[in-house]
Amino acid sequence: MMTERETTWSLSLRDVVRVLCRRSGIILSILVPGVLIVAVASFISLPIYEASAKVLLKRERLSFFHGPNESVQPHISQEIREQELNSELELLGNHSLLEAVVLQHRLYERPVCPAAAAEDPLLVRLRVSACQQRRAWWHWLQTLLGDKDSATSLRLTPQRLEKAIDGLKEGLNIIPIKQSNLILVRYRDRDPDLAAKVVNSLVQYFILKPEQGEQPTGVYELYQDETGTLRKHLQQAEERLWQFRHNAGIIDVAQQKALSLSKLADFEASLRSVEADIAATQGQIAPLKRQLAAQPEEISVETRMVQNDALATLKTHLMTLEVEYGRLREKFKANHPLRREMQNKIRKSKDILAQEAATRIQEQSIQRNPVYESIQSALLQAEVTLASLQARRQVLQQHVHDYYQISQQFDRQSIEIEALNRDAQLHADAYMAYMRKREEARFARVMDQRGIANLSMAEPAHAFSNPVAPRRKLNILLSLVLGSVVGVGIACIVDYTDHTFKTRDEVERHLSLPLLTSIPVKKEWG
Amino acid sequence: MWPKRSRKTRRPPARYESLTHLLLDDVEEFQQLRENLMLRRAAQELKTIAVCKANAGEGSSRVACHLAIAFTSDPRARIVLVDSDLRHPGLHALLQVSQENGLYETLIEGAATTKDRIKKTGLPNLSIITSGTPPDAHPAPPLLSVDILQILKEQFSVVVVDTSPVLADAAAVGVAAQCDGAILVLQAEQTRWEVAREAQARLQRAGANLLGVVLNRRKYPIPESLYKRL
């Protein structure tokens, strides 16, 4: 009589350990061979070395050239954009570059397995023989699969070259270094020196390759020819322009036109003022005439007795004569003719003097009317001014007319000159553009010759003595972990699917019968 | 742990160097078995015990033998072992008794001749009826009649019958049904759940009084030092 009891079974540590111990065979049989195989394979495989070089991308070369008349300086950024870095990166894997490297180092001749001399240590020989064995199996497998691969000859066939290039590409690893302008070039090979050489030569070839955008040879000459033709055209256009200007007598049409226009303006202004003056003068003349008519021509100004002025003179003269007579008296006798003449003179003078004294002049000055005079003079002046102004006006009008004509002519001529100018300018622009391009081509060629490039070797590759592969410790550790995980997993699966009785719980669970006893297994026949 | 032995290749029967070894082998376990059986039995007497197995090679002969030996620890008891597995009898080898003249002859000649077949073993209160020698190509033998068991019950205090495999032999369930109690012997890591369930079902359908299960050849994979710590 058994009571039905519900068996709620939950996993205990004992169960887990029991399973592991029970299936320890499975676990170990997976783990141990796995680790051993991995360890042996790690030690037997050939060590692979890696050489790496860093390439720096910088702007040594400008990819455009500026003439002296550029008004706007384009912005040359000093930062290398990621696009450029990536494009350089892609170009590093260029087929022709790889081909050059392959040919230089004769990578097509290189056997997959190295050769081992007899005096090499055992490990090395072992590795080499393992490699050769692997190659033999691989070869056998390939022939089995029908893959005809005649890799026996060492001649350079295109297939061999391609295979060598593929091999190079496989071993090559080109990556950008983040947040810098550097590109890292890595190559793996079983020979450290060769790896270093390959990387260095690849980078060298890459640096010296023609710049993208660099024109192949012949472009410089093309530009040269073009500039020659354009120069001729330009000269012709300029010649036409000069001829025209010469024929028209123009030096600088704009200024000349401006000058003539200003002159025209001046003359017009003068004309206006002259006309204003004429009007003013005419305005003056009319009232003057009226006033003139109103005034008498002569008036008597005053009547006065005027002292004869001659008296004074006569007196003076008499005085002089007497003085002279005095002198003469002293010198000569009374009957000298000179004295007598002088006496006569004195007597005459005295007579005249007495005569003059007797006459009292009565003057009556009759003058012309000063007002009349002034008016008349003013009128005359005005008329004269009017006449001159009118004459001036005439002249000015003529000038204005002339200058107007001249300005119009200049205008017409300026239009034609514009057209000719444009033509010449076009030619000049084209010529300049081609000149620039030619300069760029020449400059690029010079830089190529000098080896200036946008790239430079920042850090050349050298041969490392430590192999980078196979990573033995990592391999073994990984195989350990993986082996144990897989082993435990398989053990669990096997145990779970093992539908046999192993414990009391199972008996009671599946049969609902009590376990009376368990007889342990005997080792002698168990 | 390793690929299971198929049913065709059964383990060879256990061999002891001497009866002493037999006696000393796994004494505690069988004592425990006997105790449990005594506990398990209901009100009625447990005089005939059938030791059943699902398939051959599970070591039920040994279990039956040792169970009988466990019963002999009581000096007043008289135990008889009956080997009713006519195909692959194992009791006679264990107890080092000759196989012939056993159950098979009794079945053919009738239950009355049972007494003639009882053999003595090295142990004083343990007797055995071996299987006899059936011819090789013999079909299923006639059922063990209830008379044989009656006769034995009169003479002995405990009758332990080692039956043939339940799944292989249809007569085995009959034998188990005629006994007062039956125990099923399973081999650890060999007998499958489905097989055991089937055997149990058959026994229960036949009306046998399944008292419990004995797990034979059990492995304890955890080392004792580790087990103590868990």
Pick the closest to residue A188 from A166, A170, A203 (CA basis): A170
**How large is the average pLDDT for residues B197-226?**
88
Query: Looking at the partner chain, which of B189, B192, B212 has a beta carbon nearest the beta carbon of A516?
Result: B212
* Banded pLDDT at A391 (limits 50, 70, 90): very high
> What pairing do the DSSP bridges indicate for beta strands B79-83 and B158-165?
parallel
**How large is the average pLDDT for residues A219-229?**
85
Q: In three state form, how does the secondary structure of A272-335 look? A: HHHHHHHHHHHHHHHHHHHHHHHCCCEEEEEEEEECCHHHHHHHHHHHHHHHHHHHHHHHCCCC
ipTM above 0.90, yes or no: no
Q: Which of residues 84-143 of B touch A (CB under 8 A)?
A: none
10 Å Cβ neighbour count for A441?
Answer: 21
Check: CB of residue A507 under 8 Å from CB of residue B20: no
User: What local confidence, expressed as pLDDT, does residue B202 receive?
Assistant: 92
User: What local confidence, expressed as pLDDT, does residue A301 receive?
Assistant: 67
Query: Looking at the partner chain, which of B1, B11, B33 has a beta carbon nearest the beta carbon of A22?
Result: B1
The helix/strand/coil state of A235 is helix
Q: How many residues does chain B have?
A: 230
Q: Distance between CA A190 and CA A112 in Å, rounded?
A: 9
pTM for the predicted model, two decimal places: 0.58
Q: pLDDT tens for residues B141-193?
A: 566 667 788 888 888 888 898 888 888 888 888 888 888 889 999 988 888 89
- Please give the residue that has the higher pLDDT: either A495 or A443: A495
Examine residue A470 and say whether the peptide bond preceding it is cis (omega within 30 degrees of 0). yes
Q: Which of residues 144-203 of B touch A (CB under 8 A)?
A: 183-184, 186-194, 196-197, 200
Beta strands in chain B (DSSP E): 48-53, 79-83, 119-120, 126-129, 158-165, 181-187, 210-218
Q: pLDDT tens for residues A502-516?
A: 888 888 888 888 888
**Measured in whole angstroms, how far is the alpha carbon of residue B192 from the centre of its chain?**
20
- The residues, any chain, with a CB within 8 Å of residue B120's CB and separated by 6 or more, are B127, B128
Q: pLDDT tens for residues B23-46?
A: 777 788 888 888 788 777 765 677
Average pLDDT, chain A: 81
List CB contacts (< 8 A) between B32 and chain A.
Answer: 516-517
Q: pLDDT tens for residues A247-298?
A: 888 788 888 888 989 999 999 999 999 999 999 988 988 888 888 888 777 7
List CB contacts (< 8 A) between A510 and chain B.
Answer: 193, 196-197
**How large is the average pLDDT for residues A471-495?**
93
Of the listed ranges A59-68, A260-269, A328-337, A400-409, the least confidently predicted one is A59-68
Vertex A160 angle, CA A157 and A163, to 5°? 150
Q: Which residue has the tokens 């059922």?
A: B143
Pick the closest to residue A367 from A298, A440, A311 (CA basis): A298
List CB contacts (< 8 A) between B33 and chain A.
Answer: 516-517
User: What local confidence, expressed as pLDDT, does residue A67 receive?
Assistant: 44
